[in-house]
Amino acid sequence: MISTGFPTQGPTLGEVGEQVVIKEILAAAPSSINGDDAAVLVHASTNSRTVATTDMLVEGRHFKREWTTPFQLGRKAIVQNFADVEAMGARPIAALLAISAPEDTPVAVVRELAEGIASRCDDYAAELVGGDLTAGENLVISVTAIGTLGGTLPELSLDQARPGQRLVAHGNIGYSAAGLAILASGIDVHESLHPLIEAHQAPYLIPGRGVIARSAGATAMTDNSDGLIYDVSTLAERSGVGIELSSISIAPDKLLHAAGELLGVDPWYWVLSGGEDHTLLGTTHGQAPAGFRSIGQVVKTPGVRVDGKRPKYGEGWRSF
């Protein structure tokens, strides 16, 4: 059964005040270094560097209450930020949470959100170490992720893809977009399609894949947050190369075809244009690292093509 909806009962943020809500967050996501004016992290090891990123989820723009739960939203907020840390070849170690919410928001919403964040942080052996809380017209969740980049190898930057490398991927492609389309349709689908919905509500990646790819010789990486063609095009442009995708390697699977038939949508649209899978996309001279699969090649001729042709779709997400 798919879980959706936010708590609507119980005391509200406006009724209990900031300090009580902060105590709820600390109880849901405990950390020995959270609760002071700022968190003091353990000193990084020799030759390591700090990696930082931030991302927001805005109600009405990035999510709807009737299509998710606070717990799922918390997990999603961590994945979308930790994926960016992993895309640098780094290890996530901490997160900061800032929330703007209407005063009539039930405290239970914030507590469940923090529980979702804590559960996903646990997967990475990371912690929620601080944040901020304020009243606002809409629910806005902002997570800042902090990671550590160990050793002397360079980070996996967008400008280091080179001709002759293979393009590799870790994670689903098109699942989140298909799940969003199912939720938007309002159709009560068979449980066999629930993985697509769950991929949108709370996308999942195996922790540590970015670190493994960097150790195995990957040179460039990004995550599929805005759409496969859009994000791969950014990687290609920044590196001054082209990328040839293999249609066999990225073809929609049975679940995507089933959802496409049900909704009357070409599943290739979700694969090529859909984002929020946060699939890790990297380039390497060697074989695909553990947990990755090869989906294409880096070439000299600029542009992104599928089997040598212009992609059928490629709109991608736009923030404005």
- pLDDT of res. 317: 65
Cα–Cα dist 289/253, whole Å: 22
- pLDDT of res. 18: 79
Q: Which residues of the chain have pLDDT under 70?
A: 1, 36-37, 43-45, 317-320
Cα–Cα dist 120/79, whole Å: 8
Cα–Cα dist 160/218, whole Å: 9
20: which 2 tokens? 């009580």
* Longest CA span, the chain: 61
- pLDDT of res. 318: 67
List Cβ neighbours of 138 (8 Å cut-off, separation of 6 or more): 58, 59, 60, 100, 102
State pTM to two decimals.
0.92
- pLDDT of res. 314: 84
- pLDDT of res. 315: 81
CB atoms within 10 A of CB 74: 30
Domains and CATH numbers, the chain: 16-149 (3.30.1330.10), 166-306 (3.90.650.10)
- pLDDT of res. 202: 96
List Cβ neighbours of 19 (8 Å cut-off, separation of 6 or more): none
